[in-house]
Structures are given as structure tokens and as C-alpha cells.
Amino acid sequence: MLIKHVRARDPLSSEITPRAVFEGRRRLLKAAAAAGVWAFAPAGAKAAKPVRGEPIPNLAPWPKSLSEPPTGYELATTYNNFYEFGFDKEDPARHSKSFKPRPWTVAVEGHAEKTGTFDFEDLIKPHQLEERVYRFRCVEAWSMVVPWVGVPLGDVLKRLVPTAKAKYVAFQTVLRPEEMPGQRLPLLKWPYVEGLRLDEAMHPLALLTVGMYGERLPNQNGAPLRLVLPWKYGFKSIKSIVRIAFTETEPPTTWNIATPREYGFYSNVNPQVDHPRWSQAKERRLGDPFFSPKRPTLMFNGYAEDVAHLYAGMDLAKLY
Amino acid sequence: MTRLAKPIVFALCLLPLAWLAYRGWTAGFGAHPQEYVNRFLGDWALRFLLTALAVTPLRQIGNWPQLARFRRMLGLYAFFYVVLHLSSYVVATHFFDWAAIGKDILKRNYITVGMATFAMLTPLAATSTAGMVKRLGAARWKKLHRLVYLAGIGGVFHFFMMVKADWREPLLYAVILSGLLGWRVWRRARVKG
């Protein structure tokens, strides 16, 4: 079992560097810069510090959080695949500043008793927000460790009361080409859509996420509402969700539409099934030293004990 | 001035590398430094390869015979950046994980093509000296060095096959390469006809 249990005295990641302290440090740096101490530092090299989000109060720690130190905040918020904001990793942080994540409504449709349009806060409010430190593994063979803030997706879906016909759940990202420059280019089919089998969506690891690092989600990380599915490749964890639909048949998914040979419906992290472009056997943990070996990728990203039963009897080489 | 032209071009060609070192020293290479360095060097390898391939068309179109003397230097710089690009792949991306590299070459098409391109450029760099031209004989040397056209195609394909969705940049390189090769074909046909 690779998931380590957090001891009661372990701090939340948001507590490791108190806000006032790092803000104080930053003020000091600014003062030093003004004093010309950094005269020889290149302009703008370290200047683009991210604007931190609003802290989220009353987070419950999650007993199964990883005890590994989380990837740095700056790194996790400046190296993103969110093609709606551009196709380079730095584009989402750069081009999402004018995106408005509030007010935000989510349309609930399909085979459920409670359908309609909900303010996303109303979907989340009845549940206790948890901070969960998960591994995050991209299909491009890099990975992070991120402290997410959210509620179990299954708990929210249960309150919507799916009917017997509901076999899958489909999700859709917002379509706002005026705020999302990537959506003005037809390089993927917009809006982005994703889907899960209902039992996957109900799995307690599936997190309906509203924050990270103890704060509201930054725009570039999928504000205000995204999925985090730690046993699947990152692109399954759809961002900026505006539609949740209970369906009877397997819903289409964006990357599968784009390149079916490369991206399947399930897209579970699996070191034994290679992607045509990337070996999935190992991964580059961001933040590791420049000269260091990659780390071995774990089956279901280390969550095999929790999720393997969902796929019992399936040929994972075919249903990738 | 003309005496200085060669050393100036030589120094200019080192600028991307100098910039990389400067950035590494001052700001670092960002969130995924291995990827940053590898892509940066790959970009410049391809740019130098296309620049070397542009010498002859520019020389002929612009009636600018002085350009010819930069061709070998630009070609060797292309190879230089290719070697750095490949080294960063071995050392930074994979940290000498030879088994993973071997599998990549066999299974990942864009890596296969990239390695083939490197294999094509190596004999060209090795035979770039005046002595080698003499030893091979001008006709055979010229024939061998036509491999550079295939290497150019290989380099662009290597880039094209690597991208997931945003093919705009590799497309730009493809258009430039088509122009450079197409012009040669067109001229040859015109001269013959």
C-alpha cells in the first residue's frame, strides 16, 4: 500500500507557509528590488509571481492524503494543459486573467430526478470541504502532487438522484471563445467534454474540486469547478464544468474524438499500456532535480487498491 | 568587413546557446526544465537546418554568391544543435535510462524519425572538411550530401509527429521546407528543360 496515512499532527499544506509570511517575504523582495539589490537580475525573470487566490475556510483534512510534499504552488499554477486558454503550458496562466468564474451555474440534465440549473455553490454547500493531497499524472508522462479542495463527486451526484437508466455521467466545459482564446482555433472540438461510468463517478476518490493549496481554484486550473480523478490521466479531470448529464450510453470524450487510437474512454493510469507517443512506464515528477531519473509510474497512479475492482475482468490493453 | 563576416556569423550562431545558459543561470527553465531545454535545442536544430538549406536558393535567387561560404558553417551548427538536442534527451529527459531510450526509438514513431535524421546528418558532418571532399571526390561528395534534403524532411516530420493538437508551428516549418526543396526541383526542371 503506497498511500501513506497522515498523522494527526501533520499540517494542512495551506498551513505550511502561512499567508502572512510569504506575503511578507514578497514585500521584502519587492523592497530589495526597488533598492536596486537585484539590479543584475533579468527583468521579469521572477517577477511574474502568481496572484494567490482567496483562502477557503474550514477544510477537513483527509486521512489518506499523501505525505509527500506537494509540488510548489507556482509550478502547479504555471504549467498547465488547459487548451481553452492556449496550447503552451504557460498560456493558461497568461491568458486566463480576464476569465470570470463567478457567478457560475451548472446545468444538470438527463436521467436524474433533480435536474435543472444550479449555482455551483449550491451544489457544493451541503457537503464538508476536504483537503486531499493526490498524485496527479498527465498522459504526457509528467506528474505533480497537489493538495486539492473539494467534495466527493459521488455525494453530490447522489443528491441529484440518478434514475435506473443512468449508466454514465457526461461533463462539459464552458464555451466562451471571447474569454478563452484557444477556443477560437478549431484544433480541438469545442466545448471540451468528458465522461465516466456511473460507478467510477460514484467512487469516493473522485473529487468535485473547487480549490487547491487551501485556496479557490485559479482560472488556469479550472475555476471555479473541476473534477480530479487521481487514478486517471489528467485530461479526464475536466475543468470549468457547466454541464453534468446522466446518460444511458457512453458519452463522447474530446481527446477520444481527436485521436481515438491514442486516447480511450477510460484512460486509467497504467504503466503497462503505452501511449503511442509516450511510454507510460515512468514519469517525470515536476520539481525533481534537473539531473535525476524518472520515477516509476504506479498502476492506477498508486490507487490500485481503491479502484482496481472497478475494472475487474476488463482487458485494459483494449479498454485503455 | 568581409573578413569579419565569418567570425560574426559564427558568434551569432552561438547566441541561442548563450541565451539558454543565461536563462538557466538567472531564471531557471521553469516547471519542466528537462522538457524546456530539450525543446529549445530541438527548435534551434531545426531552424539551423532550414537556414543551411536556404543558403543555395537565396544565393541563386538573390544573385549573392558570397553566401556560399556560410553554408558549411550553418550546416555544422545545425548538427551541433542536433547533438545538443539529442544529448539533452539522453541526459536530462531520460537520465541515461538506456532501456527506456531503446524502447522509445523502436516504439515512438517521432523518436524513430528523429534518430534516423540524426543518423543521416552524422556522415554529412563527418565529411564536411575540404580534405574529405577531396578524398570522396566532388561528385560522390555531392551525392552523399543530398541526404540533407531527406534529413530536413525528417526533422520537420519529427516535430509534426510530436505535437498533440497544435500543429501550427510544425506546419510553418513544413511550408518553409517545401519552399526550399520545391524551389530546387523547379530550378532543376527549368535548367534541364
What is the per-residue pLDDT for B88? 98
What is the per-residue pLDDT for A51? 65
Which chain B residues are closer than 8 Å to A89 by Cβ? 31-32
Q: For strands A207-212 and A215-216, give the pairing.
A: antiparallel
Handedness of CA A159, A3, A62, A289 (dihedral sign): negative
Q: Is the pLDDT of residue B98 over 60?
A: yes
Which chain B residues are closer than 8 Å to A234 by Cβ? none
Q: Please calculate the CA angle A209-A57-A233 and round it to the nearest 5 degrees.
A: 20
DSSP symbol at A5: P
Q: Which of A239, A199, A201, A204 is nearest to A96 (CA)?
A: A239
A185: CATH: 3.90.420.10
The contact set of B with A (CB < 8 A) is: 22-23, 26-27, 29-35, 91-95, 97, 100, 103-104, 107-110, 162, 164-168
CA distances to B4, B136, B146 from B130, in Å: 21, 10, 17
Q: Which domain holds residue A153?
A: 13-36+61-311
Asked if the structure places residue A47 within a domain, the reply is no
Nearest to B95 among A90, A258, A292 (CB): A292
A266 close to A311: Cβ distance less than 8 angstroms: yes
Using a CB–CB cutoff of 8 Å, tell me whether A276 touches chain B: yes
pLDDT in tens, B6-43: 999 999 999 999 999 999 999 999 999 999 999 999 99
What is the per-residue pLDDT for A49? 55
* Euclidean distance between CA atoms A303 and B183, whole angstroms: 56
Query: How crowded is residue B162: how many other Cβ atoms within 10 Å of its Cβ?
Result: 18
Cβ–Cβ of B31/A284 closer than 8 Å? no
C-alpha cell at A286: 515536476
Q: Which residues pair with A133 in a beta bridge?
A: A147
**In terms of pLDDT, which residue wins out, A14 or B137?**
B137
* Cβ–Cβ pairs < 8 A, chains A and B: 68
* Euclidean distance between CA atoms A83 and A220, whole angstroms: 10
Query: How crowded is residue A261: how many other Cβ atoms within 10 Å of its Cβ?
Result: 9
Using a CB–CB cutoff of 8 Å, tell me whether A45 touches chain B: yes
DSSP symbol at A3: P
Handedness of CA A241, A245, A248, A254 (dihedral sign): negative
Q: Is the pLDDT of residue B116 over 80?
A: yes
* Euclidean distance between CA atoms A278 and B185, whole angstroms: 37
Q: Tally the domains of chain A.
A: 1
Calculate how close chain A gets to B176, using CA atoms only, in Å. Answer: 21
The residues, ordered by sequence, that sit 6+ positions from B79 with a Cβ below 8 Å of its Cβ are B121, B122, B124, B125
Preceding peptide of A191 cis, ω within 30°: yes
Could you write out the three-class secondary structure of chain B? CHHHHHHHHHHHHCHHHHHHHHHHHHCCCCCCHHHHHHHHHHHHHHHHHHHHHHHHHHHHHCCCHHHHHHHHHHHHHHHHHHHHHHHHHHHHHCCCCHHHHHHHHHHCHHHHHHHHHHHHHHHHHHCCCHHHHHHHCHHHHHHHHCHHHHHHHHHHHHHHHHCCCCCHHHHHHHHHHHHHHHHHHHHHHHHHC
* Euclidean distance between CA atoms B139 and A29, whole angstroms: 64
CA distances to A116, A169, A208, A224, B64 from A119, in Å: 10, 19, 14, 11, 68
* Euclidean distance between CA atoms A146 and A133, whole angstroms: 5
Calculate how close chain B gets to A277, using CA atoms only, in Å. Answer: 5
Q: Is the pLDDT of residue B145 over 60?
A: yes
- Backbone phi and psi for residue A135, each to the nearest 5 degrees, phi listed first: -75, 145
What is the per-residue pLDDT for A82? 98
Residue of B39, B43, B162, B166 to mutate, interface with A, max A Cβ within 10 Å? B166
Residue of B96, B164, B166, B167 to mutate, interface with A, max A Cβ within 10 Å? B164
pLDDT in tens, B48-87: 999 999 999 999 999 998 899 999 999 999 999 999 999 9
- Give pairs for A82-85: CB < 8 Å, separation 24+: A82/A182, A82/A220, A82/A221, A82/A222, A82/A239, A83/A182, A83/A187, A83/A188, A83/A192, A83/B165, A83/B166, A84/A173, A84/A180, A84/A182, A84/A183, A84/A190, A84/A192, A84/A239, A84/A240, A85/A180, A85/A181, A85/A182, A85/A219, A85/A220
The mean pLDDT value for B119-129 works out to 97
Nearest to A290 among B92, B100, B103 (CB): B92
Q: Which of B116, B120, B92 is nearest to B105 (CA)?
A: B116
What is the per-residue pLDDT for A29? 43
C-alpha cell at B4: 569579419
Asked if the structure places residue A8 within a domain, the reply is no
The residues, ordered by sequence, that sit 6+ positions from B161 with a Cβ below 8 Å of its Cβ are B109, B110, B113
Nearest to B165 among A258, A286, A291 (CB): A258
* Euclidean distance between CA atoms A300 and A232, whole angstroms: 7
What is the per-residue pLDDT for A11? 47
- Backbone phi and psi for residue B146, each to the nearest 5 degrees, phi listed first: -70, -15
Cβ–Cβ of B26/A41 closer than 8 Å? yes
The mean pLDDT value for B102-120 works out to 96
Using a CB–CB cutoff of 8 Å, tell me whether A79 touches chain B: yes
* Domain coordinates in residue numbering, chain B: 2-192
Asked if the structure places residue A270 within a domain, the reply is yes
What is the per-residue pLDDT for A33? 43
Calculate how close chain A gets to B31, using CA atoms only, in Å. Answer: 5
pLDDT in tens, A203-229: 999 999 999 999 999 999 999 999 999
The residues, ordered by sequence, that sit 6+ positions from A65 with a Cβ below 8 Å of its Cβ are A6, A131, A132, A133, A134, A147
pLDDT band at B193 (very low <50, low <70, confident <90, very high): low
What is the per-residue pLDDT for B2? 76
Q: Name the stretches of chain A with pLDDT < 70.
A: 1-51
Using a CB–CB cutoff of 8 Å, tell me whether A83 touches chain B: yes
What is the per-residue pLDDT for B81? 98
Which chain A residues are closer than 8 Å to B95 by Cβ? 291-294
